[in-house]
Amino acid sequence: MSKKADKGADKAEGKKDKKAKKGKGSAGAAAGPSVAAHPRASYQVRRAKGWGGIAGFALAAYFSYKAGVPYPDLGLRALIAGIVGYMLAWACSVTIWRHLVLAELRAALERSGGPDPDLIPARAPQAAQNPSPEQVAAGS
Using CB atoms within 10 Å of the CB of residue 85, give its burial: 0 to 12 exposed, 13 to 18 middle, 19+ buried. Answer: buried
Mean pLDDT within 72-80: 97
User: What global pTM score does this model have?
Assistant: 0.59
Rounded to whole angstroms, the Cα distance separating 81 from 60 reads 6
Per residue in 25-46, pLDDT (tens digit) is: 554 555 678 888 888 999 999 9
* Domain positions in the chain: 37-108
Per residue in 97-126, pLDDT (tens digit) is: 999 999 998 888 888 875 666 666 666 555
